[in-house]
Chain A
Amino acid sequence: MSALPKIRIRGLTKSFGSKTVLDGIDLDVEAGTSMVIIGGSGSGKSVLLRCILGLITPDSGTIEIDGENVLTASPARRNALVEQIGMLFQNGALFDSMSVADNIVFGLRAKGRGKAHRLSTAQAREQAGDILKQVGLDPSVGALAPSELSGGMQKRVGLARAIAGTPNILFFDEPTTGLDPIMGAVIDGLIVDCVKRLGSTAIAITHDMLSARRIGDRAAMLYHGKLVWQGLASELMDSGNAMVDQFTHGRKDGPIGMELRR
């Protein structure tokens, strides 16, 4: 592990009206590791990722990438820092006005504009075919429209688009939601492969405990906008924290349930 975390978050808060979604988050993600964030619906997981990506502006706190505060950086510098991040959205968020291949070419050209931007259309399409192979899809899938793909294939194409620009950081928003267990395992395997091959730092948010243990090196749990636990992902099922244990084992009774009944 390097001394400087790849991503360092301190005192991050975000409220929507009277509802506090993030309440003083402190989180370090070391370079080359995968952090999994678990938590119930509405616990602030997606808002946290969107704050790091610059899609939502937090109320206070700092978000550092490679030691540089994204929130106070100049717009050009902020774009350069955020450009390192590739994102797999929960529903894939593929551009449905484009073919699968064009979605990947878009990812290829958008990031690292230097070399990829100069690729001819034929070269870019050939590279898109190679990237499709990396996520276990035949290059012929490139000719299809996103609406013609199954949920699992859409996730794979979303992953292909996210890794097309060889990002240093990868975010995964509930990557296995809506998939059958076998396809979930396939997607998790691809995510682990991609993260290792690219040497990227990853943050994944998920409800799926099996997926969390497969993807993550470390894990954290968000509850009511606070990080209530951090530890090794391998310890998720036996963390010793009552909230984490209740959540990971899906128990009806426990501190979280008692809060809900109030």
Chain B
Amino acid sequence: MNLILDPVAAIGRAFLGIVRKAGALALFALAGLSHLLRPPFYWGVFFNSLIEIAFYSLPVVALTAIFSGGVIALQSYAGFAQYHVQSAIAGIVVLAVVRELGPVLAGLMVAGRVGAAMSAEIGTMRVTDQIDALRTLSTDPMKYLVTPRLVAGTLALPFLVLVADILGVLGGFTVSVSKLGFDPQNYIIATFNALKPLDVLVGLSKAAVFGFIISLMGCYHGYTSRGGAEGVGSATTAAVVAASILLLAFDYLLTDLFFAQ
């Protein structure tokens, strides 16, 4: 009897745990967003978060985009040369970068850098009573810590992805022209011919969703962390892993929504 029921019970418990976690996360997100409608809004925290995410992530996102654009050009050339369609490389590079690689790679880089930092900062505030101290100083911690970061993440990622798009295409252009012998003018014309405004808009929309997810995971895991330094460490890891997985899952869903025929 137990041989049959125990595994079912274990699956049930795990499922209920996931549902409980998803519910808690949804309530946390709603609570964070609801403060947008109720003043005050902490502009100082917002601008600090915006600078932390958008400005300080620029080098890592830029380098990732440049090299990724270059790699796509090289790999595409290796494959397309067999069928004598090298001329499609400019289009492949720009579409791959703008639709997918720009948002996803920038998102993953920011998840690793900013999601972890947010979770560690808020988690440390939790275990050192700083969040309780905010409450005793008549300040709602959700309003002060979470809402400005959610907004900053949602606005900063599209900016970073726009930079990643430009530099990714530049990386592909540089490799194609300097290493693969493409004509610069024809490459640029082919790039603009392949690119549609909708591709850029969808890429930036994805970025906004990813930015929200990264900030939400960082804030949620930090805010709910328990148990001293070890708890903060676990929360930081969980924030990065959860943000990365959710980011890829939402990438699929959004791609399916916008580009599936």
Indicate if the CB atoms of A95 and B135 lie closer than 8 Å: no
A97 to B130, CA, bound (A): 11
Asked if B183 is at the interface (CB within 8 A of a chain A CB), the reply is: no
Q: Which of B121, B129, B138 contacts A93 (CB 8 A)?
A: B129
A187 to B129, CA, bound (A): 20
Indicate if the CB atoms of A97 and B121 lie closer than 8 Å: yes
Indicate if the CB atoms of B130 and A87 lie closer than 8 Å: no
Indicate if the CB atoms of B136 and A85 lie closer than 8 Å: yes
Q: Which of A67-111 contact B (CB under 8 A)?
A: 79, 82-83, 85-87, 89-91, 93-97, 106-107, 110-111
What residue in chain B is nearest A113 (Cβ atoms)?
A: B138
Kindly list chain A residues whose C-beta atoms are within 8 Å of the C-beta of B139: 106, 110
Q: Which of B124, B128, B129, B138 contacts A111 (CB 8 A)?
A: B138
Asked if B133 is at the interface (CB within 8 A of a chain A CB), the reply is: yes
Indicate if the CB atoms of A93 and B137 lie closer than 8 Å: no
Q: Which of B104-141 contact A (CB under 8 A)?
A: 121, 124-125, 128-130, 132-133, 135-139
Given contacts A91-B128, A91-B129, A93-B128, contact A55 B137 (CB under 8 A): no
Indicate if the CB atoms of A86 and B129 lie closer than 8 Å: no
Kindly list chain B residues whose C-beta atoms are within 8 Å of the C-beta of A94: 130, 133
Indicate if the CB atoms of A55 and B132 lie closer than 8 Å: yes
**How many interface residues does A have (CB within 8 Å)?**
25
Indicate if the CB atoms of A54 and B135 lie closer than 8 Å: yes
Q: Mark A97-129, 1 if CB is under 8 A from B, else 0.
A: 100000000110011010000000000000000
Asked if A53 is at the interface (CB within 8 A of a chain B CB), the reply is: yes
What residue in chain B is nearest A108 (Cβ atoms)?
A: B137
From DSSP, what is the main secondary structure of chain B's interface residues? Answer: helix
What residue in chain B is nearest A162 (Cβ atoms)?
A: B136
Min CB distance B22 to A, Å, is 24
Asked if A249 is at the interface (CB within 8 A of a chain B CB), the reply is: no
Min CB distance B122 to A, Å, is 11
A89 to B133, CA, bound (A): 8
Kindly list chain B residues whose C-beta atoms are within 8 Å of the C-beta of A111: 137-138
Q: Mark A245-261, 1 if CB is under 8 A from B, else 0.
A: 00000000000000000
A55 to B129, CA, bound (A): 11
Asked if A10 is at the interface (CB within 8 A of a chain B CB), the reply is: no
Asked if A196 is at the interface (CB within 8 A of a chain B CB), the reply is: no
Indicate if the CB atoms of A107 and B130 lie closer than 8 Å: no
Kindly list chain B residues whose C-beta atoms are within 8 Å of the C-beta of A133: none
Q: Which of B28-59 contact A (CB under 8 A)?
A: none
Q: Mark B135-168, 1 if CB is under 8 A from A, else 0.
A: 1111100000000000000000000000000000
Indicate if the CB atoms of A87 and B136 lie closer than 8 Å: yes
Kindly list chain B residues whose C-beta atoms are within 8 Å of the C-beta of A97: 121
Min CB distance A118 to B, Å, is 14
Kindly list chain A residues whose C-beta atoms are within 8 Å of the C-beta of B130: 93-96
**Which A residues form the contact surface with B (CB < 8 A)?**
50, 53-55, 79, 82-83, 85-87, 89-91, 93-97, 106-107, 110-111, 113, 161, 165
Can you list 7 A-B pairs with a CB-CB distance of less than 8 A?
Answer: A55-B135, A82-B136, A85-B136, A87-B136, A95-B133, A111-B137, A111-B138
Give me 18 other A-B pairs in contact (C-beta within 8 A), A79-B138, A91-B128, A97-B121 excluded: A50-B132, A82-B138, A85-B136, A89-B132, A91-B129, A93-B128, A93-B129, A93-B133, A94-B130, A95-B133, A96-B128, A96-B130, A106-B137, A110-B137, A110-B138, A111-B137, A161-B137, A165-B137
Cβ-closest 10 pairs across A and B? A110-B137, A93-B129, A93-B133, A87-B136, A89-B129, A110-B138, A83-B138, A93-B130, A55-B132, A110-B139
